[in-house]
C-alpha cells in the first residue's frame, strides 16, 4: 500500500466466501444472492467447494443432506416462492424423487446485478482435507484442481500458483486467499510466511470452527499469526505484505436448522471509484480495504508520516483503536508450544516474544492518528468496540475492524 486516502472513493461492502447447494450450503444460489442483496451488501462471491457456478447440476432435495438441513423440500418451496414458479426447473428421477436444476451464474446474475449497486464475483474454494488447506480463488470461471504437496508451505504455494496461472491464461486479474488458517490446525505462521506469492489470508471467518481468536491448546489468534507472518516476511525473508479479509463462509440460511455459518458475521469494505470485478480485485490487491465483524470505518488515510483512522461511531458503543507492529531490532527467538507435561504439541505456530505484533499505541475514542517512529517494520491497525457480537463465530467475541499493514519506509 502506498500513500492513500479512502475518502476519495466510496466503500463497497462484500462477502467473498459463501456456499450454496452446489456444495454444502443449504440454499439455492439465487436465494443466497438475494439474502446478501437484501442485507445491503454491494458484492458477493459464491465460493463452493471445488465447483464453480457453471455447467449442468441437479440436486435431489429429499436425499441431499445439505438441502435436508435447509428444510428438505422446503428449500424448493422457498425457491419457487422467491423466484417464481416458471423459474424453477425440475424433473422426476427413476425412483420418483424430485430433482431440481441449479442454474448457472450466467443464467441468474442478470436478476441481481445492478451498476454500482450489486455485483457477483466469480470464484471457487479450492478444497482438500488432511490437512484442510482451503484456498479461495477470485475472478475465475472454472474449478482449479486442488494440489497436495509435501508440506503446508508448498501446498499453499502451489495452489496459489495454480490460481495465478489461471489469471495469465484468462488474461484477467485473479486473487488467491488462504482461508481460515486455524481450521483443524491446518496451517502455522511458519508454514504461511515463506509463501512468496501469497497476498491474502482470512483474519476473520464466520464459520464456527474457524477458531479466529485461538484456543487454550496453543492455537493462536489469527491476528497474532498474521503479525508473525508479516514480521518474518519483512525482516527475515525479504517478502511483501499479506493483507487480511473478513468473511462469512456461509453455509446456513434462513430456513436452516443449523447456525454454524450464518450470513452477516464477517465482511470486507473495499474503497474504489466504481463497482466491478476488476476494480474490487485491484483495490484488494493494493490493500485499499478493511475487514470487519461489526465495526464500520468512516475513513482511513496513510501518508509518509501518519496512519489515520476514523470510525463510524454508533451511539452507546465505545471504541479502542490500536496500532500494531514490530520494530527493527525485535527479539526473533521462538520455542514450540508444549503441553503442561512439557510434551511438544505439533501443528502449532511457535511461541514468539511480545516484540512481534507489539501494540505501538492505543487510543480511546473513534478517531486516532499514529505517527510513524521510523523503526517499525510494518504498522497495522485494529478497532475494538465495547459491543459483543450476537451473531458470532466464537462465543464472547466483540465487534472489531482490521485495517491493512503498511511498511512506513516504503511510503515516501
Per CB under 5 A, residues contacting Zn ion are 125, 134, 179, 249
Residue 82 region, left (φ>0) first, then alpha (ψ -120 to 50), else beta?
A: alpha
**Shortest Å, Cβ 110 to Zn ion:** 26
CB of 286 to Zn ion, least distance (A): 25
Record the cell numbers describing residue 321, joined without a space: 483503536
Min dist CB 344 to Zn ion, Å, is 27
Strand partners, 44: 15, 120
Q: How far apart are CA 266 and CA 345, in angstroms?
A: 30
Residue 158 vs 298, nearer CB to Zn ion: 158
Residue reference for cell 439474502: 35
Q: At what angle do helices 29-38 and 105-112 cross, to 10 degrees?
A: 20
DSSP label of 378:
E
Q: Which is nearer to Zn ion, 6 or 53 (CB)?
A: 53
CB nearer to Zn ion: pick between 61 and 146 = 146
Tracing cell 443466497 back to the chain, one arrives at: 32
- Of 15 and 167, nearer to Zn ion (C-beta) is 15
Minimum CB separation of residue 47 from Zn ion in Å reads 6
The residue among 15 and 179 lying less far from Zn ion, judged by its C-beta, is 179
Nearest one of 251, 406, 217, 399 to 325, comparing CA atoms: 406
325 vs 233: CA distance, rounded Å? 13
Minimum Å gap between C-beta 125 and Zn ion is: 5
In the bound state with Zn ion, the residue whose beta carbon lies nearer, of 30 and 125, is 125
**The C-alpha cell of 322 is what?**
490500536
Q: Is the dihedral of CA 12, 13, 16, 21 positive or negative?
A: negative
Which residue's Cβ lies closest to Zn ion? 134
Q: How far lies 170's CA from each of 52, 71, 111, 155, 158, in Å?
A: 15, 39, 26, 23, 18
Beta carbon of residue 17, minimum distance to Zn ion (angstroms, whole number):
5
Shortest distance, CB of residue 63 to Zn ion, whole angstroms?
23
Residue 122 sits at φ, ψ, to 5 deg, of -90, 140
Structural contact between residues 298 and 4, judged by C-beta atoms closer than 8 angstroms? no
CA dist., res. 350 & res. 188, Å (int): 8
Which residue, 17 or 320, is less far from Zn ion as judged by CB? Answer: 17
Kindly state the smallest distance separating residue 165's Cβ from Zn ion, in Å.
21
Q: Which is nearer to Zn ion, 242 or 411 (CB)?
A: 242
CB of 303 within 8 A of CB of 7? no
Helix (H) or strand (E) holding 77, with range, is helix 73-83
Amino acid at each position: 500500500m502506498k500513500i492513500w486516502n479512502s475518502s476519495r472513493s466510496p466503500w463497497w461492502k462484500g462477502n467473498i466466501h459463501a456456499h450454496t447447494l452446489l456444495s454444502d450450503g443449504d440454499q439455492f444460489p439465487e436465494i443466497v444472492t438475494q439474502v446478501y442483496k437484501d442485507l445491503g451488501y454491494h458484492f458477493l462471491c459464491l465460493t463452493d467447494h471445488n465447483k464453480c457456478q457453471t455447467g449442468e447440476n441437479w440436486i435431489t432435495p429429499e436425499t441431499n443432506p445439505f438441502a435436508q438441513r435447509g428444510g428438505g423440500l422446503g428449500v424448493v418451496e422457498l425457491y419457487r416462492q422467491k423466484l417464481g414458479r416458471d423459474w424453477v426447473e425440475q424433473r422426476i428421477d427413476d425412483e420418483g424423487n424430485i430433482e431440481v436444476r441449479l442454474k448457472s451464474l450466467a443464467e441468474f446474475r442478470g436478476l441481481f446485478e445492478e451498476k454500482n449497486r450489486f455485483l457477483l464475483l466469480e470464484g471457487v474454494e479450492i478444497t482438500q482435507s488432511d490437512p484442510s488447506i482451503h484456498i479461495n480463488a477470485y475472478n475465475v470461471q472454472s474449478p482449479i484442481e486442488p494440489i497436495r504437496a509435501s508440506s503446508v508451505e508448498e501446498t499453499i504455494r502451489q495452489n496459489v500458483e495454480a490460481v495465478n496461472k489461471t489469471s495469465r491464461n484468462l488474461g484477467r486479474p485473479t486473487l488467491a486467499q488462504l482461508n481460515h488458517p486455524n481450521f483443524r490446525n491446518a496451517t502455522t505462521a511458519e508454514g504461511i510466511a515463506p509463501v512468496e506469492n501469497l497476498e491474502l489470508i482470512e483474519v476473520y471467518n464466520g464459520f464456527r470452527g474457524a477458531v479466529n481468536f485461538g484456543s487454550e491448546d496453543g492455537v493462536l489468534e489469527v491476528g497474532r499469526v498474521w503479525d508473525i507472518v508479516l514480521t518474518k516476511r519483512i525482516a527475515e525473508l525479504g517478502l511483501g505484505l499479506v493483507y487480511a479479509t473478513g468473511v462469512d463462509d456461509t453455509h446456513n440460511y434462513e430456513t436452516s436448522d443449523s447456525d454454524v455459518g450464518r450470513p452477516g458475521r464477517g465482511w470486507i469494505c473495499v474503497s474504489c471509484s466504481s463497482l466491478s470485478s476488476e476494480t474490487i480485485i485491484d483495490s484488494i490487491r493494493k490493500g485499499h480495504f478493511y475487514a470487519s465483524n461489526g465495526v464500520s470505518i468512516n475513513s482511513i488515510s496513510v501518508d509518509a508520516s501518519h496512519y489515520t483512522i476514523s470510525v463510524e461511531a454508533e451511539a452507546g458503543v465505545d471504541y479502542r483503536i490500536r496500532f500494531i507492529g514490530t520494530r527493527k531490532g525485535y527479539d526473533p527467538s521462538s520455542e514450540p508450544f508444549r503441553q503442561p507435561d512439557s510434551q511438544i504439541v505439533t501443528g502449532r505456530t511457535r511461541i514468539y516474544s511480545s516484540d512481534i505484533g507489539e501494540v505501538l499505541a492505543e487510543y480511546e475514542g473513534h478517531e486516532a492518528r499514529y505517527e510513524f517512529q521510523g523503526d517499525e517494520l510494518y504498522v497495522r491497525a485494529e478497532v475494538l468496540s465495547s459491543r459483543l457480537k450476537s451473531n458470532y463465530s466464537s462465543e464472547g467475541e466483540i465487534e472489531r475492524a482490521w485495517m491493512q499493514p503498511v511498511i512506513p519506509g516504503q511510503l515516501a
